[in-house]
Amino acid sequence: MQQIKPACTATTLLQQCRQQKQQQQQQKQQQQDEEEEGEEGEEEKVQQQQEEEEKEEKQQMQQQQQKERRLQQQKQQQLQQQQELPQLLQQQLLVLIFYALISDPFTQQQLQQQHNQFMQQQQHN
C-alpha cells in the first residue's frame, strides 16, 4: 500500500477548494448574465407591446377621424338637400301651373288670339 503524503493532500484539497470557488463564481456570473438577458428580453417585450398599443391607438384615431368626416359629409349633404328641396318644389309647381294654363281651353284661346295679333302686327311692319 502506498502512503499519501499529508502535504500533497492539503495541496490537493486547496486546489479542489479553489476550483469549487471558481465554479461557483462562474455559475453566479452565468446566472447574473441570464437574469440580465431575461430582463432585457422583458424590456424588449414591454417596448414591443407599447409600440403595438401606440399603433392601435393611431389606427383607432384615424378610424374615428374618418367616421367624423363621413358624418360631417352626410350632414352637409342633408343640409344641401334641405336647401334644394324648396327650389325643386317651386320649379315643379311652376311647371304644373304652366301646363295647367296651357291645357286650359280658355287660356289656349287667349294665347291663340295674342299670337294672331302679334302676327298681324308683324305683317303690317
Question: What would the 3-class secondary structure string for 107-120 be?
Answer: HHHHHHHHHHHHHH
pLDDT at site 40: 73
Compute the distance between CA of residue 123 and CA of residue 121 in angstroms, rounded to an integer.
5
* Residue entry with cell 500533497: 8
d(CA 56, CA 15): 61
The pLDDT value given to residue 85: 82
In a domain, residue 13? The reply is no
As for how many domains the chain has, the answer is: 1
Does residue 15 sit within a domain? no
Contact 107, 101 (CB under 8 A): yes
Give the Cα-Cα-Cα angle 37, 40, 41 (nearest 5 degrees): 85
Task: Give pLDDT, residue 23.
Answer: 93
In a domain, 5, yes or no: no
Please report whether residue 28 resides in a domain. no
**Is residue 3, in this structure, part of any structural domain at all?**
no
What DSSP designation does 125 have? -
The domain containing residue 117 runs over which residues?
60-125
pLDDT at 72: 95
Per-residue pLDDT of the chain (125 residues), as tens digits, is 566 555 567 778 788 888 999 999 999 999 998 888 777 778 888 899 999 999 999 999 999 999 999 999 999 999 988 888 888 888 899 898 888 877 777 777 888 888 899 999 888 87
Task: Establish if 77 belongs to a structural domain.
Answer: yes
Euclidean distance between CA atoms 37 and 112, whole angstroms? 104
